[in-house]
Amino acid sequence: MKEKKKSDVSVLLDYAGSHKGLTFLGLTLSAVSMVLSMAPYICIWLAARDLIAVAPDWTQARGVARYGWISFAFAFAGILLYFAGLMCTHLAAFRTASNIRKQGVAHVMKAPLGYFDANASGLIRGRLDAAASDTETLLAHNLADIVGTIVLFIAMVILMFVFDWRMGIACLLAAVISVASMFTMMGGKNAKIMAEYQTAQDRMTKAGTEYVRGIPVVKIFQQTVYSFKSFQKAIEDYSAKAEHYQANVCRIPQSINLTFTEGAFVFLVPAALFLAPNALKHGTFAGFVTDFAFYAVFSAIISTALARIMFASSGVMLAGTALGRINRVMEAPSLKIPAHPQTPHSNKVEFQDVSFTYDGAESAALTHVSFTAEPGQTIALVGPSGGGKTTAASLIPRFWDVTSGSVKIGGVDVKNMDPHVLMDQVAFVFQNNRLFKASILENVRAARPDASREQVRAALMAAQCQDILNKLPDGLDTMIGTEGTYLSGGEQQRIALARAILKDAPIVVLDEATAFADPENEVLIQKAFSTLTKGRTVIMIAHRLSTVVGADKIIVLNKGCISEEGSHNELLTSDGLYARMWADYNKAVQWRISSEKEAR
């Protein structure tokens, strides 16, 4: 049997968990308060009827004051229940929104790290935050208003038809036209247009963020916003989608709605005139006027109710698109966790016939790559740009999972290891070191939260960071990135090396990027490297060939394949790609030395 598709609201209510009942309680209270809110209108009508009946001797109308009190009591009770209902729906809405945020973050945490390359964490957070707040409005206000108004409508229809079904129809006709015009805005083609409009808004926000990030480049090259084609296109696209949405979805229904909401009694006067002769024949003029007053008063409630529905229905649409955004976060792929994790027997790292293609890429980034790093060995990955070095290194911590073949640590496929054990086994130092806006202590301690201050200090010393600590005002407790405390690229890298040293993992994956370091920094970084790599299995991505001369094995990756492998001397003898790269590298070094000499 085909499974019935759940409505957006019930999917959202599932996020409320144990607070779902509170939402229903809030909705019930809101519905009851709406029914009670009709009482003052009925009392006004009853008072008007009594007054008209005894006119012009008003003193005869003894019940009027009583109606006033009853009306007050019902209005007061209605307001109290409405507030109690709102308290319930608000509590449930806050919990639902926080559950959405928590579940979204928890789900994304299970995604492979590579997922964050294509989905910036800021964007995911922004998407979740905005979607959660949109649902908050629906669950806290809109839903209660919709349920309450529907109940109010039903009660009104019953009441009106009990009095005079013809006047009832006249009264409701305007309402039906209004509601029908509004419903044409929802669902089908219009929901698609609304979703496109929201997506265009998302895209513009994303492109705006990229533009702000790229402002330095724009300024340096004296460009204008128009040089940021994607941002310009996103703005134009958003503007077109917004106009399309206004023109095709909103304009006509909202005009009809406004006309009939404000003029809910347009059909009432003709109906009254039509029914007047017969009514006057069987009753008094006073009775006829009173009945007309009843419907005139109720048409005012219809206007209020319609305005409420109109406001609330936009909340439903907004929540529908918000749910779409939440679903996109929830669709993030999860890292497959083994049911029976295996423990590695050693620190050997093996690539066995590994091929890997990025999602959506036309060609493979790695093809049939096999190599082994024995425990304690240093393996250098070298090769032209785009050869696959970073990709190969990223497969060890499961940034991505191999397309075919296997990556093993100590004889166990990384896919069969407990992810926590995998992370404990391997320390990473990437080019983009990602220091947080926090103290140096906290930055280094991120690798091992239970480490003492002394252990952190020792790791910093081993990573040659003495000079950094000496020059900073608060030493270990200096906040990085605030009040002018900024570190150079080389200094940041040494802090990141301290973090890896503190982690004390038996396997180290290192993206050696000293290109931006000055000679002094470079010497210190090299010393920190040798401390970090001593006695460990090291996979090193090398950009500068001087650092790989001492490696146990050099793997030359070109266009995703291993084109050569061996020690430095072996590769020079075989006179292939590596030998050419080495010659080029030496030429570049010679050129630098001679230009520096000339400059002096």
Ligand X SMILES: Nc1ncnc2c1ncn2[C@@H]1O[C@H](COP(=O)(O)OP(=O)(O)OP(=O)(O)O)[C@@H](O)[C@H]1O
Report CA-CA distances (Å) from 391 to 165, 354, 366, 409, 432.
Answer: 75, 11, 8, 17, 15
Kindly tell me which of 113 and 337 has the beta carbon lying closer to ligand X: 113
390 interacts with ligand X by CB under 6 A:
yes
Binding region for ligand X (CB under 6 A) out of 121-129, 378-386, 448-456, 576-584: 378-386
CA 325 to chain centre: 7
Closest approach of ligand X to the CB of residue 358, in Å? 3
Binding region for ligand X (CB under 6 A) out of 125-133, 174-182, 272-280, 358-366: 358-366
Kindly tell me which of 360 and 473 has the beta carbon lying closer to ligand X: 360
Kindly tell me which of 385 and 432 has the beta carbon lying closer to ligand X: 385
Closest approach of ligand X to the CB of residue 178, in Å? 51
Question: HEC states along 430-462?
Answer: CCCCCCCCCEHHHHHHCCCCCCCHHHHHHHHHH
Residue 49 and residue 63: Cα distance in Å, rounded? 11
354 interacts with ligand X by CB under 6 A:
no
DSSP β-bridge partners for residue 522: none
Q: Which of 473, 466, 373 is nearest to 426 (CA)?
A: 373
Kindly tell me which of 249 and 369 has the beta carbon lying closer to ligand X: 369
The Cβ-side half-sphere exposure at 128, using a 13 Å CA radius, reads 24
**Type and span of the H or E element at 408:** strand 404-409
391 interacts with ligand X by CB under 6 A:
yes
Binding to ligand X (CB under 6 A) within 41-70 occurs at none
Among 167, 365, 396, 542, binds ligand X (CB under 6 A): 365
Closest approach of ligand X to the CB of residue 514, in Å? 14
Residue type, 506: P
Binding to ligand X (CB under 6 A) within 117-136 occurs at 117
Q: Which of 50, 41, 48, 51 is nearest to 71 (CA)?
A: 41
Residue 18 and residue 16: Cα distance in Å, rounded? 6
Phi, psi of 216 (to 5 degrees): -55, -45
Closest approach of ligand X to the CB of residue 430, in Å? 11
Closest approach of ligand X to the CB of residue 538, in Å? 17
386 interacts with ligand X by CB under 6 A:
yes
Closest approach of ligand X to the CB of residue 581, in Å? 12
Residues near ligand X (CB under 6 A), total: 12
Binding region for ligand X (CB under 6 A) out of 71-79, 263-271, 381-389, 488-496: 381-389
Binding region for ligand X (CB under 6 A) out of 335-343, 385-393, 442-450, 497-505: 385-393
Binding region for ligand X (CB under 6 A) out of 160-168, 233-241, 380-388, 445-453: 380-388
Binding region for ligand X (CB under 6 A) out of 133-141, 345-353, 383-391, 585-593: 383-391
Residue 230 and residue 417: Cα distance in Å, rounded? 42
Among 59, 224, 385, 432, binds ligand X (CB under 6 A): 385
Q: Which residues contact 96 (CB under 8 A, 6 or more apart)?
A: 12, 13, 15, 16, 19, 23, 135, 136, 139
Report CA-CA distances (Å) from 154 to 33, 38, 298.
Answer: 14, 12, 13
Q: What does 114-153 look like in DSSP terms, one character per residue?
A: THHHHS-HHHHHHHHHHHHHHHHHIIIIIHHHHHHHHHHH
Q: Which of 98, 88, 260, 251 is nearest to 170 (CA)?
A: 260
Among 253, 387, 410, 419, binds ligand X (CB under 6 A): 387
Closest approach of ligand X to the CB of residue 496, in Å? 17
In this structure, are residues 518 and 526 in contact, taking their beta carbons and an 8 Å threshold?
A: no
Closest approach of ligand X to the CB of residue 512, in Å? 11
Binding to ligand X (CB under 6 A) within 445-464 occurs at none
Closest approach of ligand X to the CB of residue 387, in Å? 4
Q: Which residues contact 103 (CB under 8 A, 6 or more apart)?
A: 15, 330
403 interacts with ligand X by CB under 6 A:
no
In this structure, are residues 344 and 410 in contact, taking their beta carbons and an 8 Å threshold?
A: yes
Closest approach of ligand X to the CB of residue 391, in Å? 3
Kindly tell me which of 115 and 288 has the beta carbon lying closer to ligand X: 115
Residue 365 and residue 352: Cα distance in Å, rounded? 15
388 interacts with ligand X by CB under 6 A:
yes
361 interacts with ligand X by CB under 6 A:
yes
Kindly tell me which of 26 and 387 has the beta carbon lying closer to ligand X: 387
Residue 396 and residue 388: Cα distance in Å, rounded? 13
Lookup: tokens for 416: 């069969």
389 interacts with ligand X by CB under 6 A:
yes
In this structure, are residues 574 and 557 in contact, taking their beta carbons and an 8 Å threshold?
A: no
116 interacts with ligand X by CB under 6 A:
no
Closest approach of ligand X to the CB of residue 228, in Å? 22
Binding to ligand X (CB under 6 A) within 538-567 occurs at none
What angle separates helix 285-330 from helix 121-137, to the nearest 10 degrees?
Answer: 160
432 interacts with ligand X by CB under 6 A:
no
Binding region for ligand X (CB under 6 A) out of 24-32, 260-268, 338-346, 357-365: 357-365
In this structure, are residues 85 and 27 in contact, taking their beta carbons and an 8 Å threshold?
A: yes
Residue 556 and residue 540: Cα distance in Å, rounded? 12
Kindly tell me which of 265 and 400 has the beta carbon lying closer to ligand X: 400
259 interacts with ligand X by CB under 6 A:
no
Kindly tell me which of 172 and 539 has the beta carbon lying closer to ligand X: 539
Question: Which chain residues interact with ligand X by CB under 6 A?
Answer: 117, 358, 361, 365, 383, 385-391
